[in-house]
Chains A and B, each alone.
Chain A
Amino acid sequence: QSALTQPASVSGSPGQSITISCTGTSSDVGGYNYVSWYQQHPGKAPKLMIYDVSNRPSGVSNRFSGSKSGNTASLTISGLQAEDEADYYCSSYTSSSTLAVFGGGTKLTVL
Chain B
Amino acid sequence: EVQLVQSGAEVKKPGESLKISCKGSGYSFTSYWIGWVRQMPGKGLEWMGIIYPGDSDTRYSPSFQGQVTISADKSISTAYLQWSSLKASDTAMYYCVRHRRDILTGSFDYWGQGTLVTVSS
CA distance A38 to B95 in the complex (A): 13
CA distance A104 to B58 in the complex (A): 26
Interface size class of chain A, counting residues whose CB lies under 8 Å from the partner chain: 20 to 34
Assess whether A48 is in contact with B47, with CB atoms less than 8 Å apart.
no
**Residues of chain A whose beta carbon lies under 8 Å from any beta carbon of chain B:** 2, 32, 34, 36, 38, 45-48, 51-52, 57, 89, 91-94, 97-105
A34-B106, A45-B113, A57-B109 known; A51 vs B44 contact (CB < 8 Å): no
Q: Count of A-B contacts with CB under 8 A?
A: 70
**Residues of chain B whose beta carbon lies under 8 Å from any beta carbon of chain A:** 35, 37, 44-47, 50, 59, 61-63, 95, 100, 104-114
Assess whether A48 is in contact with B100, with CB atoms less than 8 Å apart.
yes
Assess whether B45 is in contact with A89, with CB atoms less than 8 Å apart.
yes
* Distance of B70 from chain A, by nearest CB (Å): 12
Beyond A100-B106, A102-B47, list 13 extra A-B contacts (CB 8 Å): A38-B45, A45-B111, A48-B107, A51-B105, A89-B44, A92-B106, A93-B107, A99-B50, A100-B47, A101-B106, A102-B46, A104-B44, A105-B45
